[in-house]
Chain A
Amino acid sequence: MSPPPVTTARPELVTEERPRRRQAWIERATSADHKSIGTLYIGAALAFLVAAVAQLVVMRTQLIVPENTLTDPEIFNRILSTFAVTGVVLFAIPLALGVFSYISPLQVGARGVAFPRLNLLSFWLFVSGGFTIFGSYLWRPTEAGFAAFPPLSESIYSNTHGVDAWIVGTFLALLGFVCFGVNMVVTLRNMRAPGMAWRRVPLFTWAANLCSYLVIVCGSVMLAALTMLFIDRNFGGVFFDPGYAGAPILYEHLAWFFFSGAFAFIVIFAAGVISDVLPAFARKPLFSHRAALGCMLAIAILGPLSWMRNMYTAPIPTAFMVAAMFLAIALTIPIGLLIYNWIATVWGGALRPRAAALYAIAAISAMTVGLAGDLAWSLIPVGWQIEHTTAAQAATTCVIVGGAVLGGFAALHYWFPKITGRMLGEGLGKAALAAILVGLYVFAAGSFLAGVKGQPTDVYKFFSGEGLDGPNLMASIGAFVMAVGALLQLGNAAHSWGRGVAVGHDPWGASSLEWFASSPPPVHNFDVVPDVRSAEPLYDIRRAIRDRSDSWQPPAPAARQETPAPEPEPEPVGGGDSGDAQGGTPVA
């Protein structure tokens, strides 16, 4: 087979004018480079993770013993009411968006993004949203519950501006995400390298594409709901006021549509990470690339459309409920096939037990547990018993922590060398993984046991003598262990940022194009945009280089300069690749 021409460049000329020297922080804050914005997104999301962990610890400390009076109900409710938005809108989604922004254009061989300034705007909208919500802590934040359901969030029941701050903050963040989604969708449609057909895009980029559509569709719906609520509160609207034939349940529909979309977002993000990480560490291609593309698409469609599975207790027509149940149960098929795909990818491989791979596997485990729980509650009669209890919350937590925290840290471990040129500490990373996973399961088991006995979510205290003492203590201990693990990993990342072990451009021998660029990549990403011939372009390039060096005597120096040769792996594992001069994935 003749080697693919690796020198094909796009016709445009890359010019780098020498920029004026500005202070580093101004450069960082105003750079429209997608990699810089991605780093900002990741940093801000991890900062909000610290806030979410602190909120969780305070709430679980309050619930550690029955009838605890450590905090006031008002204080507890303020923390509770901002916790969900902190965890989902300020941590999970932006963390994923940050990695998408950094990695996806590289993966499709693009030299930038379509709307770089829109991308930058999206970050600052998100950050100002976060500051608005946490700024309200200086006065009086919202006490209206996790999604501010009316009528409780209407001005007669919540007549401070805390709810307004929550609305505006959430609105700004979601508006940012919509901007981000527009940019990413256009970038991925128009700026892929030659030959990078949709069937060949890496699954992480496919996740970026689907997630961008999800934030555009579901985020816009929530923007509408928040606007209506704001009009109700401040300008005499009656959208959700039952006294004027408004419908509180309308807001429930819209909010659950958004939260179901966010849930699907997290699952798809984690699926993208796992589908990229496992092949790299098992050193074989994904079992079926095309099936994974289809499964993720199915999750993106079924997930938000089954929003009414959260509303079985509400007065909605039976046909709608049954349809929602069908969609929610049907999610089992794409999720099950994805898991099958991942296991079959490991099967027959040689899995290197590096932290990134272990995080990915832990994410599979946690999401399996959570999604199986969700499957059980998606039966209507079971939902009547379990919805709105801490048991349902346990399943949701398993998916969100499994997807956003474990999946997010897998992504961080995997792409940290790309972002910084350094390795994220392996030992601390694995210790943190053990703490997070054990803590998560202890927390989920405790919450589950309390929930099946009927403990609702969002309670400030619970009463003794109802069999809830042990489960709540268990959930609290689990949450503390999980918090320690998360903070440990954040410390690990902060330490490795400047002092990690320096590694080469391609430490894992992966086969997608981001490893074709240097680490960290230059502003224009690629000197040469390669021609893509398969779903594993870098594998093809390595093979071409190897073929050429095997057949050419001596190798032409000019040809070598054109292609930055990937460096050999730092730790060659196994004997199979010992004779492989160029490193990377050997041919079996």
Chain B
Amino acid sequence: MLALALAAGALALVAAPAAASVLGPRAGHSSNADDIRTAYWVAIIVAAVLVVVVHAFLIAALVRFRARRGRSPQRFTAGARAFVRPVVPLVAVVVGLFIFGIVMMSNARDVQATGPDGLNADADLLAQVNDLSIPPTARPLNINVIGQRWLWRFEYPGGRPGDRIFSYSTLTVPVDTPILLHLTSSDVTHRWFIPALGGQVDVIPGQDTATWFNADRVGTYSGQSMSFSGSGFAAMRGWVHVVTPQEYQQFIARKRAGLARAQKDVVKALGESSTTTAGAP
């Protein structure tokens, strides 16, 4: 029995990394996603142990005490003291998981400050956004996210309020920089979720919610809305394109130039149309 358990343990150690990629969430690339994964593995292992223990006793009881010729049941019942033995481990599990859950929740809400490779965004200092705790040195980049059926719209900082640049579906952000997402919806309820970059958060019309991430690596991370929103819901996907700060600034400059060009075109068209429409009734 002991040898069997040891063999199973050794096998588990060898197979663990392979199993983790199947049984666990996609790898995290932000510190809040890493906290969530730690919590996930602890919780799922506790749950698995409980399931195994219950089934071991259940199967043992079924095998040992099934009806056989010559066996008569022992009619016994228990008083309250019989429950001391199971209550102690259950209470320990409950208290342990509860405290662990609170700790990991607040860890995942601690916004990580800008790293050495990050962009030093000149954002306004925000002490508190919803329940996130933001250190004074964080210098986060504030992005407005608007959910609409069945797209995500991202508003980038900088520029006058009416002059902001935006993108659809793909959010481009610098690496190693805390990104604060301020989310709202222009129609029904959506739910923001990029698994590699943290947990889900509701996107509700008429209400502002917030979440954050600080991507540790350049790359593209995908996710999709988690709240049913009608016929196009399954295709309401979003991508976060994490780039270097230089590339991010080039992206912004390009977008800004495109905006300026478009505005210039409008002004030009206005001039042309004002001449062409002068004679119109």
A binds B: yes
Which residue numbers of A lie inside 8 Å of B, CB to CB?
73-74, 77, 80, 143, 145-146, 149, 151-152, 157, 242-243, 245-246, 248-249, 282-291, 313-315, 318, 321-322, 325-326, 329-330, 332-333, 336-337, 339-340, 343-344, 346-353, 361, 364-365, 368-369, 372-373, 375-389, 449, 452-454, 456-463, 466, 573-577, 585-588
Task: Please report the C-alpha to C-alpha distance between residue A332 and residue B66 in the assembled complex, in whole angstroms.
Answer: 28
Indicate which residue in A242, A372, A384 contacts B199 across the interface (CB closer than 8 Å). A384
Indicate which residue in A286, A315, A350 contacts B65 across the interface (CB closer than 8 Å). A350
Q: Which residues of B contact A146 (CB under 8 A)?
A: 228
> Are B204 and A387 closer than 8 Å at their CB atoms?
no
Interface contact tally, CB-CB below 8 A: 279
Instruction: Say whether B13 faces chain A, with CB atoms less than 8 Å apart.
Output: no
Q: Which of B55, B61, B191, B222 has the most CB of A within 10 A?
A: B61
Q: Which residues of A contact B51 (CB under 8 A)?
A: 368-369, 372
Q: Which residues of B contact A353 (CB under 8 A)?
A: 66-67
Task: Please report the C-alpha to C-alpha distance between residue A291 and residue B101 in the assembled complex, in whole angstroms.
Answer: 29
Task: Please report the C-alpha to C-alpha distance between residue A264 and residue B104 in the assembled complex, in whole angstroms.
Answer: 28
Q: Which of B37, B73, B107, B229 has the most CB of A within 10 A?
A: B73
> Are A376 and B43 closer than 8 Å at their CB atoms?
yes
If A77-B231, A376-B47 touch, whether A361 touches B204 (CB-CB below 8 Å) is: no
> Are B199 and A574 closer than 8 Å at their CB atoms?
no
> Are B65 and A349 closer than 8 Å at their CB atoms?
yes
A545 CB to closest chain B CB (Å) equals: 18
Which residue numbers of B lie inside 8 Å of A, CB to CB?
22-26, 35-37, 39-40, 43-44, 46-48, 50-51, 54-55, 57-58, 61-62, 64-80, 82-83, 86-87, 90-91, 93-94, 97-98, 100-102, 104-105, 107-108, 130-131, 187-189, 191, 193, 195, 198-202, 204-207, 209, 222-234, 237
Task: Please report the C-alpha to C-alpha distance between residue A449 and residue B24 in the assembled complex, in whole angstroms.
Answer: 8
Indicate which residue in B73, B130, B201 contacts A350 across the interface (CB closer than 8 Å). B73
> Are A340 and B83 closer than 8 Å at their CB atoms?
yes
A491 CB to closest chain B CB (Å) equals: 28
Task: Please report the C-alpha to C-alpha distance between residue A352 and residue B43 in the assembled complex, in whole angstroms.
Answer: 36
> Are B90 and A381 closer than 8 Å at their CB atoms?
no
Q: Which residues of A contact B69 (CB under 8 A)?
A: 574-575
> Are B40 and A382 closer than 8 Å at their CB atoms?
yes
Task: Please report the C-alpha to C-alpha distance between residue A329 and residue B95 in the assembled complex, in whole angstroms.
Answer: 9
Q: Name the residue on A nearest B199 (C-beta).
A: A384
Task: Please report the C-alpha to C-alpha distance between residue A77 and residue B75 in the assembled complex, in whole angstroms.
Answer: 54
> Are A326 and B105 closer than 8 Å at their CB atoms?
no
Q: Which residues of A contact B209 (CB under 8 A)?
A: 315
> Are A249 and B101 closer than 8 Å at their CB atoms?
no
Task: Please report the C-alpha to C-alpha distance between residue A245 and residue B207 in the assembled complex, in whole angstroms.
Answer: 10
A303 CB to closest chain B CB (Å) equals: 15
Indicate which residue in A143, A332, A378, A459 contacts B93 across the interface (CB closer than 8 Å). A332
Q: Which residues of B contact A151 (CB under 8 A)?
A: 187-189, 205
Q: Name the residue on A nearest B85 (C-beta).
A: A340
Q: Which residues of A contact B198 (CB under 8 A)?
A: 384
Indicate which residue in A77, A249, A382, A588 contacts B43 across the interface (CB closer than 8 Å). A382
Task: Please report the C-alpha to C-alpha distance between residue A385 and residue B80 in the assembled complex, in whole angstroms.
Answer: 39
Task: Please report the C-alpha to C-alpha distance between residue A9 and residue B227 in the assembled complex, in whole angstroms.
Answer: 60
Q: Name the residue on B nearest A374 (C-beta).
A: B47
Indicate which residue in B58, B73, B108 contacts A361 across the interface (CB closer than 8 Å). B58
B136 CB to closest chain A CB (Å) equals: 21
> Are B104 and A574 closer than 8 Å at their CB atoms?
no
A320 CB to closest chain B CB (Å) equals: 11
> Are B189 and A382 closer than 8 Å at their CB atoms?
no
If A284-B75, A384-B200 touch, whether A351 touches B97 (CB-CB below 8 Å) is: no
> Are B87 and A333 closer than 8 Å at their CB atoms?
yes
If A337-B87, A458-B233, A574-B67 touch, whether A329 touches B101 (CB-CB below 8 Å) is: yes
> Are B91 and A456 closer than 8 Å at their CB atoms?
no
> Are B226 and A389 closer than 8 Å at their CB atoms?
yes
Task: Please report the C-alpha to C-alpha distance between residue A574 and residue B224 in the assembled complex, in whole angstroms.
Answer: 60
> Are B234 and A461 closer than 8 Å at their CB atoms?
yes
B157 CB to closest chain A CB (Å) equals: 22
> Are B78 and A387 closer than 8 Å at their CB atoms?
no
B179 CB to closest chain A CB (Å) equals: 17
Indicate which residue in B40, B73, B207 contacts A284 across the interface (CB closer than 8 Å). B73
> Are A288 and B195 closer than 8 Å at their CB atoms?
no
> Are B54 and A339 closer than 8 Å at their CB atoms?
yes
B185 CB to closest chain A CB (Å) equals: 9
> Are A313 and B201 closer than 8 Å at their CB atoms?
yes
A57 CB to closest chain B CB (Å) equals: 19
Q: Which residues of B contact A372 (CB under 8 A)?
A: 47-48, 50-51
Indicate which residue in B55, B57, B97 contacts A329 across the interface (CB closer than 8 Å). B97
Q: Which residues of B contact A377 (CB under 8 A)?
A: 43
Q: Which residues of B contact A337 (CB under 8 A)?
A: 83, 86-87, 90
Task: Please report the C-alpha to C-alpha distance between residue A286 and residue B82 in the assembled complex, in whole angstroms.
Answer: 13
> Are A249 and B90 closer than 8 Å at their CB atoms?
no
Q: Name the residue on A nearest B130 (C-beta).
A: A315
What are 8 inter-chain pairs, A to B, with CB distance below 8 A?
A: A313-B202, A315-B209, A346-B58, A346-B62, A350-B73, A381-B108, A456-B224, A459-B233
Indicate which residue in A249, A315, A376, A454 contacts B46 across the interface (CB closer than 8 Å). A376
Indicate which residue in B50, B98, B188, B223 contacts A325 across the interface (CB closer than 8 Å). B98
A285 CB to closest chain B CB (Å) equals: 5
> Are A149 and B57 closer than 8 Å at their CB atoms?
no
A185 CB to closest chain B CB (Å) equals: 28
Task: Please report the C-alpha to C-alpha distance between residue A285 and residue B72 in the assembled complex, in whole angstroms.
Answer: 13
> Are A365 and B234 closer than 8 Å at their CB atoms?
no
A85 CB to closest chain B CB (Å) equals: 14
Q: Which residues of A contact B97 (CB under 8 A)?
A: 329, 375, 379
> Are B77 and A286 closer than 8 Å at their CB atoms?
yes
> Are A242 and B36 closer than 8 Å at their CB atoms?
no
> Are B55 and A368 closer than 8 Å at their CB atoms?
yes
Q: Which residues of A contact B105 (CB under 8 A)?
A: 318, 321-322, 379-381
> Are A456 and B67 closer than 8 Å at their CB atoms?
no
Q: Which residues of A contact B130 (CB under 8 A)?
A: 315
> Are B72 and A577 closer than 8 Å at their CB atoms?
yes
Task: Please report the C-alpha to C-alpha distance between residue A386 and residue B24 in the assembled complex, in whole angstroms.
Answer: 11
Task: Please report the C-alpha to C-alpha distance between residue A383 and residue B104 in the assembled complex, in whole angstroms.
Answer: 12
Indicate which residue in A282, A351, A368, A449 contacts B23 across the interface (CB closer than 8 Å). A449
Q: Which of A242, A289, A313, A382 has the most CB of B within 10 A?
A: A382
> Are A73 and B76 closer than 8 Å at their CB atoms?
no
If A291-B83, A376-B46, A452-B24 touch, whether A249 touches B207 (CB-CB below 8 Å) is: yes
